Amino acid sequence: MGEIQLPPINVAQFFNNFNNYCLPTFTSLTNYLTAFDFLLELNLTLPILLFMVNQTSPPPAQSIIPLLFKHLPHQNIGVCIHQYIFGLTIHLKDLRYILFLWGTAFEDLPTSHKFLIVAIPPNQFRDFSSLMHTSVFDVSLKIFLIQESTAEGENLNVCEIHYFCMRCPRDHHLVWKTPLSQNQHDLLTQLVKMEQIVTLNCAYSYELDLFFRDPYDLNTIHVNSMEASGPKMVSYLKETEGLNRFDYSYFAKVTIALKTFTFPQLLDFLLLENAMQPKLNSSPSRVSFSISLPPLNSITLFMSKRNQFVILTSDNQYNFLTCDSVHSSVNYNIYLSPADRYCWILTVVALLVITTILTFPLRGRYLAYFEMLIQMAGALLETPMTVDQRLSRGKLLLLSLWIGSSMILTTGWEATFTMEIITPIPNTSPFTSFLDLVNFTFFSPVAEDQYEFYDDSMRASPISELIMVFMNLKNSNRKGMSELARVALTFNPSDGYSHIQPLAYHHPDDFSGNLTLPSCKGKAYVDTKERIDAILPYANQVGSMSGIRFVKGKQVLQTNPNGFMWTVSGDSRLAGRLVQRLQNLIGSGIYKYWEELYSRFRPIKLFEYYDERVNRDGFMNNGMKQLDLNSKLVSILVMFGILCGSCCVVLVVEVCSCFIVLHKEKGNRIFRYYII
């Protein structure tokens, strides 16, 4: 015997079992009041809203939205909507269009508990269900198909519930049999969770999609052609690695991951772990509907009309290099102040206190106190000490501690002095911050995916990220910053941005050529703080060939933070599982771990990497630099010369004094001789 076919649930049954916490809205696409005869069978505990329209459009949103936010009795659900539709069977020719209109109306409603309940006459239910099974409708719609009334003789205790959604696993038509009982809202909650899980599994990654398309071919980038990245990556990685079975843990190994993915791609790969499990069987009818993973970018734009998740990862700091007005001078601070003032104060206090203890009681012997004070101070200069008086064991221990501390202080100062002396003479410039660079021409790198546009500007003009940075600074409250941004963004149709020029790392000659020719006047190279620190040694090595020196700014420019920004229309909780997974990656240290690995083993290729002179001439070797007169060693020679000159002056004074004394003594002897 075949399986007994149960009757579909009707309007009254559905309402009485699912609507005890949500404000329902009833819409009839006919002008007949008889469409609402079922109202007598409803257990009404909350107000309801009735619409009678003679067009296929949904009711105006301004009539529905206020009700959603006025009554929130169920705290676990929050905002919800149950929209009942009657008379849809008379508009079968326009079914796809009607569902499109309702999907558009539902899209921006800020909840996932939004269901469209379509009531069909009993004699047309099976045919309409077959039609819905083959239809593709808006992804925002979750549709329950119910009967307007129960046919005579049908079982009223057990029934079928027909559910259609584009974010259902395996198939977008679900049918389950259930006994009728009160408080069925748990079923709706489970359907919402299922939608969130499927949304995660069907997410689209722009970074992972680069495995399948040319990033320079704009024709391959089309929103409607987006497919879920998880299943595509499984097939691609199995084929490229020659694996019979996809093993997620295999690609999570450090050596394999560094070889296979870039850092943004690996991050999306980690986020989509569940989407790459073999148990996922994606339905072709909904594989193109997905949520997009946001890239790691500088967060510069916030929209107020849509829900957003913002996860910050780091500060976005910029610095600059310039060779304009660079000069060098020897600094003698290390001779004048080998320690900070607090160290000096503590040393002097300790010296006085310990000397007082060692000479106590004084009994008027102030000369002995000063002699001991001089010897204690001499210990800082590693001079021998002679103590004539007998000291107790406690005083000897205190004296030993002072001698040991003096050795530590002296050794530390000598090490600091040596390290300071062997460093190169610092280059300085009057331009220390971005506020000093008004009217400068800024050169800034373009992203790697714009290299082809940089090489062939006829295809498109490369856009520097610095343009967006200054655009966000135009309304800055910091004094002078808005003026700097306004001047930097000077634009004319023929030349574009005259004060912002693009550079590309794979053309190192453009770096030195643009910044130094015909002169360094009014030019600066701008990049992130970390890259400026990495490029500065290379810039000075290249500039040394023509006697040019570069310096970096002393004050960095801190702008918008780096992070991820999820912008979701409608219910932001659809992205909640992805956001939570990303937060876990960052909070657990996994994100930082991989970031450090990539920065060490797969760093961004800067100018040095593409410069042939680096490997050919070896001028960028990492060995110890030969100590020469371009280091602070010259300060020792200067100090030695000053001291030698002082000694010579003292010698001349001493010699002259001796001659004067001898001359006076000789004169006195002659004078006494004549008197006698």
For residue range 160-182, list pLDDT tens digits in order. 889 988 777 766 788 877 776 65
pLDDT band at 630 (very low <50, low <70, confident <90, very high): low
User: C-alpha distances in angstroms, 654 versus 641, 646, 650?
Assistant: 20, 12, 6
* Residue 234 DSSP SS3: helix
pLDDT at 446 over 80: yes
- R_g of the chain computed on alpha carbons: 41
Report the distance separating Cα 24 and Cα 71, nearest Å.
Answer: 11
Report the distance separating Cα 8 and Cα 20, nearest Å.
Answer: 20
pLDDT at 471 over 80: yes
Q: What is the mean pLDDT of residues 557-583?
A: 83
Q: 3-17, 108-122, 508-522, 579-593: lowest mean pLDDT where?
A: 3-17
Residue 536: how many CB atoms within 10 A of its CB?
16
pLDDT at 535: 94
In contact, 567 and 306? CB cutoff 8 Å: yes
**Nearest alpha carbon to residue 464 among 444, 491, 440:** 444
pLDDT at 381: 80
Which residues share a beta bridge with 252? none
pLDDT at 318: 95
- HEC string of 480-502 equals CHHHHHHHHCCEECCCEECCEEE
pLDDT band at 268 (very low <50, low <70, confident <90, very high): very high
Write the CB contacts of 450 (distance below 8 Å, at least 6 apart in sequence).
462, 463, 504
Tokens 């004319």 label which residue? Answer: 492
* Sign of the CA dihedral with 638 first, then 379, 342, and 417 last: positive
pLDDT at 182: 55
* Sequence letter at residue 278: P
For residue range 401-424, list pLDDT tens digits in order. 888 888 888 888 888 777 777 777
**Nearest alpha carbon to residue 322 among 515, 132, 141, 139:** 515
pLDDT at 284: 42
Report the distance separating Cα 353 and Cα 186, nearest Å.
Answer: 78
Report the distance separating Cα 171 and Cα 285, nearest Å.
Answer: 8
Higher pLDDT, 202 or 289: 202
Helices 590-601 and 576-587: crossing angle, nearest 10°? 70
pLDDT at 155 over 50: yes
In contact, 103 and 167? CB cutoff 8 Å: no
Q: Are strands 427-428 and 327-328 parallel, antiparallel or unpaired?
A: antiparallel
| Element containing residue 119 per DSSP (H, E) | strand 114-120
pTM of the full structure:
0.72
Tokens 């193109």 label which residue? Answer: 288
Tokens of residue 171, six digits: 């198939």
Report the distance separating Cα 137 and Cα 378, nearest Å.
Answer: 91
Domain ranges of the chain: 11-195, 206-293, 333-421, 427-559, 631-676
User: In the 8-state DSSP scheme, what is residue 292?
Assistant: B
pLDDT at 15: 85
* Residue 305 DSSP SS3: coil
The rounded mean pLDDT for the chain is 80
1 class by beta-carbon count within 10 Å (0-12 exposed, 13-18 middle, 19+ buried): exposed
pLDDT at 353 over 60: yes
pLDDT at 489: 93
pLDDT at 70: 43
pLDDT at 623: 39
pLDDT at 87: 85
Cβ burial 144-169 (10 Å sphere, 16+ → b, else e): bbbbbbbeeeeeeeebbbbbbbbbbb
In contact, 480 and 439? CB cutoff 8 Å: no
pLDDT at 159: 84
Query: What is the percent of the chain where pLDDT is above 90?
Result: 20
For residue range 282-314, list pLDDT tens digits in order. 444 444 556 788 888 888 766 655 667 888 898
pLDDT at 54 over 90: no
